[in-house]
Amino acid sequence: MTHFTISCDSCVMDGTAACADCVVTHLLAPARREPVAFSDDELRAVQLLARAGMVPTLRHREAD
């Protein structure tokens, strides 16, 4: 099983309007500085919830 790890510290969207509307911000607030790891199944579930309009989309973008 692979994991997709997200850290707000490495996201180029950190501090932007997109950050405020990111599912990670909503999941981790107020302690959003801790990285979160999604399994493949969890990431698919978040994507399905986002497509259904139930949670914000994932706006995370790694810096190059």
Instruction: Output the CA torsion 8→9→10→12 (10° steps).
Output: 70
**Helix/strand/coil percentages in the chain, nearest 5:** 40, 15, 45
| Strand runs labelled E in the chain | 3-6, 36-39
Residue 50's pLDDT is what?
84
- For 21-46, what is each residue's pLDDT tens digit? 777 776 766 555 677 778 888 888 88
Contacts for 5 with CB less than 8 Å, ≥ 6 apart: 35, 36, 37, 38
Give the global pTM: 0.52
CB 13 within 8 A of CB 59: yes
